[in-house]
Structures are given as structure tokens and as C-alpha cells.
Amino acid sequence: THMYNIYCKLILLMWLMMCVVDKSAFVSSAQQGEVESGTRRKIKRLLSFQRYCHASRLLRGLVPHTPGSLHLLDDDYLGQAAHMLSKVGTWNFDIFLFDRLTNGNSLVTLMCHLFNVYGLIHHFQLDMVKLHRFLGMVQEDYHSQNPYHNAVHAADVTQAMYCYLKEPKLAEQLSPLDVFLGLMAAAAHDVDHPGVNQPFLIKTRHHLASLYQNTSVLESHHWRSTVGMLRESGLLSHLPADMSQDMEQQLGSLILATDISRQNEFLLTFREHLDNQDLDLQLASHRHFILQIALKCADVCNPCRVWELSRQWSERVCEEFYRQGDLERKFDLEISPLCNQQADSVPSIQIGFISYIVEPLFEEWHRFTEPSLLSQTMMGHLHKNKARWNKYLSVCTMLLEQ
């Protein structure tokens, strides 16, 4: 791999030299600027290809974001953040920018805004101080050192969930309770994620694995942590006990649905409902099922975003996998699938993820929405992004075979 690495760089270097030499030899000076910028573009593109061949060391140090470089009280940034919130329902919403403008408070800011939009504070007679305390705890309990499973991912999933709740097929049918639970589950669904996966926790005999008996270990932890914070903040303490208990249970059922190993179970049921056309959104149980599916979609919707956003999520998730792989190597454990930086490239991981997880789920969602404008947009991005990763992959393979 090391030799291949050097080889790759050599080929790249030769190609760059050829580019520069043959272009400048016969181009008039008037065209020079244009060609130069064209060449620079080509070089940039090639560098980005090469980046994905083994890539992510280059990203190391770039990916972890350090909230706090902006001042909380900077009116200009907050003004821009407020302006962004006026477009929070648009699919190309840039959550990374929003997180910077809110000084790393994207999750709290977004949730407060959406609760206001839906009038949930009034409807459930929520105490603003308790709500802030609860949301602050949730945001804090995400690990900002995780390249992927951090509070920005939670905010991103919440924003996607909001877009799905607004789907014409769904919006009219949803009760305030549905909306409340949908948003809460999205915001908290990965809370206190350790940045490693369940097999890692099992094989290192982590206490969470034995606590939850090796099944839905992370998802159970996200849910129980959320319940703990709900009770500690007293957010629901004014409600009748059976109501707050029901809310906790429903939150659990939503968060546990994000366990990817249960994807087939959900997909088969969803497909069956669509084939039989027997979904009745007047029924609370059917609405709950659709909320589970919507949350699952929101959780894996990265490849359905516009390329510039999608690409950043891809790099982040792979970086998190590679870090787990590095830990496994360091402790002489077997390296988990997708976590080997030398063997698993960003494009190949993304193509697998899209083909086996994202496409099957979104094809059914697309059907469910009959298909909505948003669904069509998402499918468009999904296909374009997949084609792009395939192109990167073939360039990597070509370089490898030369």
C-alpha cells in the first residue's frame, strides 16, 4: 500500500507536469488566463480524486470542528443565523454554516425555533427554562470530538425530520404529540454516541454491551440517556404520569428504529403497507410507524443532500470508521468491516451504503409521498451523488491498475 501510495503520487505528478507543459506551449497569452484557471480546476479535481483513494489522513485535523471561534453575542452572526432559520424547511439548508453562525449551538437553536413554529411550548405548557436546560444537556452530551456522531449530525437529522413532517401526505394528519415526539427523537437519537459501533463495544466488553445484552446497545443507550435527561430537567414533570410515560416509551420506539440492523424488518413492513395501500394515518399506530420510517430516512439522508453537503458527511463518517479501525489495530483486535483505511476507500464505502441502505429505503419513501417535490429532489441528488462516487472509484481503480 505504501508503494502504491508513492506510485499514485508519481503518476499524478507526471500528469500535472504534462498538463502544464503541453498547454503553455501553444496557447496565446490572451487565452493563457482561461487555460490556467481550467488547468487549475483540473488539477484540483484530480487532487480530489486522489484524496479519496486513501484519503482521510489528509482530512485529519481538518474535520474536528472547534465551536467557539465566534462570539456568542455577535449580532452579525446571530442575524445571519436568524435569516437562515427563515429557510429552515428547505432541503439545501447548510447545517454546517448554521452551526458556525450559532457558535456550535445549532441543535438547541434549531429545536427552540421548531418548537415555536409548531406552538409546542404553548400546547404542552412547557417551561422555557426546563426546555433550555433539557436541550442544553442533550447538545452537551453529544461528543464534539466525533467526526460524525456529534450534535451537528443530530441537528441535521432534526432539520431533515422537519422537512419530512411537512410532507403534504403527512402534515395534515400529524397531532402536536406526533410532531413533538418526532422532533425530540431526531434531536436525541444518537446522544452520547461513543464514536465506535456496537461490535466494537461487544468485543471490548464495554459495560453498555452487557447492560443491553448485545442488542441495540447504542440505540438503547441513546434512549435511556434521553429519558434520564428528561427526568433530570423535569421537562415533562407537570404532565400526568401515564402521559409522560407514554411519551418516554414512544421516544424509545422511535430511537430504537434507527438501529440499522433492523432495517429489513422495517423495510418489509413498509413495502407491504404500500403494496396493500392499507396505511391509515388517522390511526395513531400507523402514524407512529411512519414517524419511525421518517426518522430512519432522516438518519441516513446524507447521500440525498446536495453534493457539497453530502460529501462532507461522507468524509466525516469514514473518518470515524477509520479511527475505530486505528483503535482496533492498536489493541490487536480484528479490524471491523469498513474501518480499514488501507482497504476501504471513501467512494467504496459510500457506494455500498447507498446501494444497500439508502436506495432501498428512499425508493419506498418516494412511493409513500406519491412522489412529492422533495422526494424527487432527494432521488435526483442520490443518483447524481452515487454516479459521482462511482466516477471517483473508477479513477482510483484505474490508478491502481496502471
Ligand X SMILES: *[C@@H]1O[C@H](CO)[C@@H](O)[C@H](O)[C@H]1NC(C)=O
Q: Are 106 and 152 in contact (CB under 8 A)?
A: yes
Listing DSSP states for 105-169 in one string gives: -HHHHHHHHHHHHTTHHHHTT--HHHHHHHHHHHHHHS-TTSSSSSHHHHHHHHHHHHHHHT-HH
**Residue 149 catalytic?**
yes
Nearer to Zn ion, 190 or 364 (CB): 190
CA–CA distance, 76 with 349 (Å, rounded to integer): 39
Minimum distance from residue 196 beta carbon to ligand X (Å):
15
Residue choice 213, 276, 277, 402 for contact with ligand X (CB under 6 A):
213
Listing DSSP states for 198-226 in one string gives: HHHHHHTT-HHHHHTTTSSHHHHHHHHHH
**Which residue blocks in 212-342 are alpha helix, DSSP H?**
217-233, 241-256, 263-276, 284-299, 307-330
Q: Is 145 in the site for ligand X (CB under 6 A)?
A: no
Q: Which does 5 bind (CB under 5 to 8 A by kind): Zn ion, ligand X, none?
A: none
| Secondary structure letter of residue 261 according to DSSP | G
Segment near Zn ion (CB under 5 A), from 24-32, 209-217, 293-301, 305-313? 293-301
Q: Which does 299 bind (CB under 5 to 8 A by kind): Zn ion, ligand X, none?
A: Zn ion
Which H, E and C letters describe 55-86, residue by residue? HHHHCCCCCCCCCCCCCCCCHHHHHHHHHHHC
Provide the mask over 216-245, with x wherever binding to ligand X is found by CB under 6 A and - wherever it is not.
Answer: ------------------------------
Q: Which does 213 bind (CB under 5 to 8 A by kind): ligand X, Zn ion, none?
A: ligand X
Binding site: residue ranges?
149-153, 189-190, 299, 350
| Long-range own/partner contacts, residues 86-93 (CB < 8 A, 24 or more apart) | 88/113, 88/114, 88/159, 88/162, 89/162, 89/163, 89/166, 91/163, 91/305, 91/306, 91/374, 91/377, 91/378, 92/305, 92/306, 92/309, 93/159
Place of cell 429505503: 361
Q: Is 320 in the site for Zn ion (CB under 5 A)?
A: no
Segment near Zn ion (CB under 5 A), from 4-12, 190-198, 239-247, 332-340? 190-198
Minimum distance from residue 211 beta carbon to ligand X (Å):
10
| Secondary structure letter of residue 234 according to DSSP | T
Question: Residues in contact with Zn ion, total (CB under 5 A)?
Answer: 2
Q: Which does 202 bind (CB under 5 to 8 A by kind): Zn ion, ligand X, none?
A: ligand X
Nearer to ligand X, 262 or 271 (CB): 262
Nearer to ligand X, 210 or 355 (CB): 210
Catalytic residue among 54, 149, 273, 381: 149
Within its chain, how far is the Cα of 105 from the centroid?
17
Binding site for AMP: residue ranges?
149-153, 190, 299, 350
Q: Which does 190 bind (CB under 5 to 8 A by kind): Zn ion, ligand X, none?
A: Zn ion
Nearer to ligand X, 188 or 217 (CB): 217
Minimum distance from residue 205 beta carbon to ligand X (Å):
7
Question: Residues in contact with ligand X, total (CB under 6 A)?
Answer: 3
Question: Is the Cα dihedral 368, 371, 373, 375 positive or negative?
Answer: positive
Nearer to ligand X, 121 or 327 (CB): 327
Terminal CA-CA length for the chain = 14
Minimum distance from residue 148 beta carbon to ligand X (Å):
25
Nearer to ligand X, 32 or 214 (CB): 214
Nearer to Zn ion, 301 or 396 (CB): 301
Q: Is 190 in the site for Zn ion (CB under 5 A)?
A: yes
Residue choice 156, 167, 259, 299 for contact with Zn ion (CB under 5 A):
299
CA–CA distance, 141 with 187 (Å, rounded to integer): 11
Segment near Zn ion (CB under 5 A), from 108-116, 122-130, 184-192, 307-315? 184-192
Segment near Zn ion (CB under 5 A), from 128-136, 186-194, 220-228, 239-247? 186-194
| Long-range own/partner contacts, residues 277-286 (CB < 8 A, 24 or more apart) | 279/368, 281/170, 281/173, 282/173, 284/175
Q: Are 58 and 79 in contact (CB under 8 A)?
A: no
Residue choice 19, 43, 202, 333 for contact with ligand X (CB under 6 A):
202
Q: Burial letters for 96-123: b for 16+ Cβ neighbours within 10 Å, e otherwise?
A: bebbbbbbbbbbbbbbbbbbeebebeee
Residue choice 37, 48, 214, 376 for contact with ligand X (CB under 6 A):
214
Q: Catalytic positions, please?
A: 149
Residues that bind ligand X in the complex, under the rule CB under 6 A: 202, 213-214
